[in-house]
Structure 1
Amino acid sequence: MNQNIQQFKADFFKALAHPMRIRILEVLSEGDKNVNELQSILGSEGSAVSQQLSVLRNKNVVTGLKDGTSVIYSLRDPLIKELLAVTKQIFDNHLVDAISLLEVIRNES
């Protein structure tokens, strides 16, 4: 059972392993969007956005609901928003550590 969870985690993080996919998730954490809205917000081609959405959809990270001629995308699990926030906190912690180290180095000079 534990191996199944580890494999799920590995696959999940692989799905997140692209800057545009992370940005798509950040945008979707603010609310549901269609491809055109995402394209406009991200300032990227529709094909690139669609390609990254396809990866996220195939890994069950986002869902798409048909609405007329377009598809509205949303986060499959609202905890993804929390995961993105925790990741930002980890980044901030690393940044604080780097700044502290820089101050120590400067004070030694």
Structure 2
Amino acid sequence: MSLPLYQAKAELFRTLGHPVRIRVLELLQDGPRPVSELLQEMHIEASSLSQQLAVLRRAGIVISTRNGSSVVYELAAADVADLMRAARRLLTEVLTDQKVLLAELNRAARPGRR
């Protein structure tokens, strides 16, 4: 018996719900990268990065290939990069709306205003 689509989507978003995993996906939007480059960009322990890459790999979001002595990761599908760009657009819109609301609240809170 397979999962209903909404549950599968929830699992996907749970998998994406870690800052290190999101950063990895952002970095991989520009193309495949060896683990050494990811480590250099992210400034985290190798064991932590390895753990998060394994989660993404098990979920089928990234794929890995061995290139000599290094392991290279890439996005499993271009749709993953599209999802990251959509999230950025959504956040930009939400934060812009919040900024406008905050400005309105600040104006309303000034003395002499009701």
TM-score by length of 2: 0.87
2:62 match: 62
Distance 2:62 2:21 in 1: 10
Unaligned runs of 5+ in 1: none
Does 2:95 correspond to 1:92? no
Query: For residue 27 of structure 1, what is the amino acid of its counterpart?
Result: L
Deviation string 1:55-108 (CA, Å, 9 cap, x unpaired) is 000000000012122211000011111111111111111111111111212222
Contact conserved, 1:11 with 1:59, CA < 8 A, in 2? no
Displacement after TM superposition at 1:24 (Å): 0.3
Unaligned runs of 5+ in 2: none
Distance 2:3 2:48 in 1: 33
SS of residue in 2 equivalent to 1:71 = strand
User: How many pairs align?
Assistant: 109
1:50 match: 50
Query: For residue 32 of structure 2, what is the amino acid of its counterpart?
Result: D
Deviation string 1:6-65 (CA, Å, 9 cap, x unpaired) is 222122111101000000000011111111111011111111111100000000000001
Distance 2:105 2:74 in 1: 46
SS of residue in 2 equivalent to 1:51 = helix
1:73 match: 73
Distance 1:18 1:103 in 2: 31
Distance 2:7 2:64 in 1: 24
**Which of structures 1 and 2 has the bigger CA Rg?**
2
TM-score by length of 1: 0.91
